[in-house]
Amino acid sequence: MAVSRKKQWEMLEQQLKAQIERDTGNILFRQLLIGNVLENKLEIYVRDNFSKNLIDTYFLKKIIKFINEFEDYKKIEELEFILDPDRFREEDAKMVIETKEREIENEIEYKNKIDFSVKEQEKSDIYELNDKYSFESFVVGSSNDLAHAYAIAVAKEPGTKANPLFIYGGSGLGKTHLMQAIGHYIGKLSNGKKKIAYVTSEKFTNDFIDAIKSNNPSKFREKYRQVDVLLVDDIQFLVGKDETQKEFFHTFNSLVEAGKKQIVLTSDKPPAKLNKLEERLVSRFKAGLVADVQKPNLELRIAILQKEALKQGIDITTDIIEYVAQKVVSNIRELEGAFNMVISYRSITGRELDEATIDRILKDFITTLGPKKVSIEDIKREVSDFYNVAEEDIMSAKRDQKTALARQIAMYLAYDLTGRSTTLISREFGKKDHTTVLHARKKIEKMLEEDEQYKKDLREIRGRLLE
């Protein structure tokens, strides 16, 4: 039976991708689709400029040589690259399905290791936790240490420390990671006997609407009120959904009153700023433990990338890790994505990385390339405002406790956020000796270890400066 030209071309495309992926050990060629043949030219559709540049620079001859081995394509001498991301929607959908299938397989494997006493838990759609979100894989720093400490406490004694645990902060900062780590920890601690449900507020809302439509609210309530741990992501999306809020209120109360049932919520803002959410819900959220996660500082970003490199078994210099960490400051998700892009480039090309190359790799993918530039003047102004100390006093020789603290905090932040040397910072503060800055750093670091209030103050000032 003759193979159609379309089928033949699909087979050729698969062989080409497989051949080159074997050589590179990379999935770059998922970014490539073969188009039409125009005399001696072959059209290649690519997802983005990064893929186009890499293929054009390093794989052009290899592709043409491979194509020429087939009788019908011996005359092809050049490739024409066409940027068309829309053509990759089907490929993206396949990747999503493959990823989901792998997650399901991992979940089944995990559940097979544990003797679940509640069989319904294996079938429900609200018990899926991502295996990669564990306490072991979470990197702790000054921007998330309080939330991490609360999460550990709640996981060790669910339903007894506080209800709910409310974690808030921007996107991609680790809220979902901590929430699901709690679920994993409690699941293992109970040998799988605890029913742990993870949902987004959107999923909760949709389930409630479906229950109303099918005239079966009792099934919905049984589903959510018989769990031992309820993890709800992005609770802010309940705003404006009055009936769903009422149902969540009753679900919340039912779990708390049952005793030793833990509720964990995440949001993009603290309870007090959830406008248009029922006051009785806000009141209950405030009554629990509330902790924020902020943008990671440079030290934490470096630590995250070092851990990622170790996990992947990558040999990479500290200079490269620090440079990527300096470039991407918005959130952890983008930071890890940028790092993987840089590593993929090195893996594919075999070239060593430098700052100019990294800038080129990241410019098309990271919209927040580079940290917000914070000047020492910005820091002085913000610290002055926060502690109600005049800027000229910070620059003066005054040594009263309030002024000295503000000055030392400003020096500490200047070192942390500007990348300037201690010598230059000391000059900016009117000091002759750089040891003044070193002394300030050591003193503030000691205070941060001993007093939680200073941590909160510094967190807030840093947050204002980086907004």
Distance CA 200, CA 197 (A): 10
pLDDT at 18 over 70: no
Q: What is the CATH number of domain 5-85?
A: 3.30.300.180
Computed from CA positions of residues 197, 202, 205, 207, in that sequence, does the dihedral angle turn out positive or negative? negative
Which residue is listed with tokens 């009785």? Answer: 280
DSSP assigned state of 174 = S
Task: Mark 276-296 as b/e (b = at least 16 C-beta within 10 Å).
Answer: ebbeebbebbeebbbbbbbbb
Domain 114-293 in this protein, CATH class: alpha beta
State the number of CA atoms in the 13 A half-sphere of 275 facing the CB.
0
Residues 198-217 pLDDT 10s: 999 999 999 999 999 988 88
Please say whether the beta carbons of 64 and 46 come within 8 A.
no
Residue 376's closest CA among 338, 417, 339, 340? 417
Residues 329-340 pLDDT 10s: 778 888 888 898
Alpha helices in 315-451 (DSSP H): 318-327, 332-349, 355-362, 376-387, 391-395, 401-418, 422-428, 435-450
The whole-number pLDDT of residue 118 equals 38
Q: Give the mean pLDDT of 4-24.
A: 56
pTM, full prediction? 0.56
Residue 218 sits at φ, ψ, to 5 deg, of -65, -35
Q: Residue 439, Cβ neighbours under 10 Å: how many?
A: 13
Please say whether the beta carbons of 406 and 417 come within 8 A.
no
Residues 255-295 pLDDT 10s: 999 988 999 999 999 998 898 899 999 999 999 999 999 88
Distance CA 314, CA 458 (A): 34
DSSP assigned state of 55 = I
* Residues, the chain: 467
pLDDT at 380 over 80: yes
Residue 267 sits at φ, ψ, to 5 deg, of -155, 165
Q: Give the mean pLDDT of 127-137.
A: 85
Q: Give the mean pLDDT of 418-443.
A: 85
Greatest C-alpha distance within the chain: 93
Mean per-residue pLDDT of the chain? 80
Residue 305's closest CA among 324, 289, 277? 324
Task: Mark 163-184 as b/e (b = at least 16 C-beta within 10 Å).
Answer: bbbbbbbeebbbbbbbbbbbbb
Q: 42 pLDDT band (50/70/90 cuts)? A: confident
Any idea which architecture 298-362 has in CATH? Orthogonal Bundle (1.10)
Q: Where are the domains of the chain?
A: 5-85, 114-293, 298-362, 376-466
Q: Give the mean pLDDT of 112-127.
A: 46
CATH T-level assignment (fold) for domain 376-466: Chromosomal Replication Initiator Protein Dnaa; Chain: A; (1.10.1750)
The whole-number pLDDT of residue 261 equals 93
Residues 164-209 pLDDT 10s: 999 999 888 999 999 999 999 999 988 888 999 999 999 999 999 9
Tell me the three state secondary structure of residue 163: coil
Q: Give the mean pLDDT of 57-77.
A: 75
Residue 88 sits at φ, ψ, to 5 deg, of -100, 5
Residue 166's closest CA among 241, 242, 260, 273? 273
pLDDT at 139 over 80: yes
Residue 281's closest CA among 240, 312, 315? 240
Distance CA 71, CA 134 (A): 53
